[in-house]
Amino acid sequence: MFNLILFGPPGSGKGTQSDLLIKRFGFLHLSTGDLLRDEISRQTSLGIEAKKFMNNGQLVPDEVVIGMIDSKLNDNQEAKGIIFDGFPRTVAQAEALDKLLDLRKSKINILLSLEVPEEELKKRLIQRGEQSGRSDDNEEIIVKRIAEYKNKTEAVAKYYDQQDKLVRIKGIGSIESIFESLTNAITALV
């Protein structure tokens, strides 16, 4: 199984590129946000536990999220590969994911990081907010989200860079040219 992490700040194009990669390679898209919503809606034991934290305004603990990922992996053992989206967000989560995959005799093969200048991210997010009504159309919120990414999540890229698994992809240009760069990085390893 080929496992990749699609990485980048808010507005970098992860959603658009994930859809294209799924169509091209037949990978399973694993979004922790989607997993949480699914587990809660199905009222699984993990979902009930997660909902308790969320109802109290707390982050869902890593153990619960890892449990959900483990469950999803069990349900999709035939998958050709997995795109991890929105996870891991911290080095502790990356280490936990590596341990989980190691138990399954698997690993993260590559972390693809979409690199986009901050001014372009702001422009994209404002435009996306205007078009979709999403809450990230306020520049103050956008700046906070980008800072949060840089302060916490960027360390995950460094973690995988130390394992020679990080590939930085220029995230500006046409959707097609970015997709081609991502595809080339993947096919070099498959």
Torsion sign (Cα): 182, 174, 33, 125: positive
Q: What is the pLDDT, as a whole number, of residue 19?
A: 93
State pLDDT tens for residues 8-57: 888 899 989 999 999 999 999 998 878 888 888 999 888 888 888 877 77
Q: What percent of the chain stands above pLDDT 90?
A: 56
Provide the CATH number for the domain around residue 125.
3.40.50.300
Average pLDDT over residues 70-88: 90
Q: What is the pLDDT, as a whole number, of residue 135?
A: 56
Domain count, the chain: 1
Residue-averaged pLDDT of the chain: 89
Q: What is the pLDDT, as a whole number, of residue 47?
A: 86
Phi (first) and psi of residue 73, to 5 degrees: -65, -40
From CA 14, how far away is CA 20, in angstroms rounded? Answer: 10
Q: What percent of the chain stands above pLDDT 70?
A: 96
Torsion sign (Cα): 168, 154, 105, 15: negative
Which residue segment(s) compose the domain that 11 sits in?
2-187
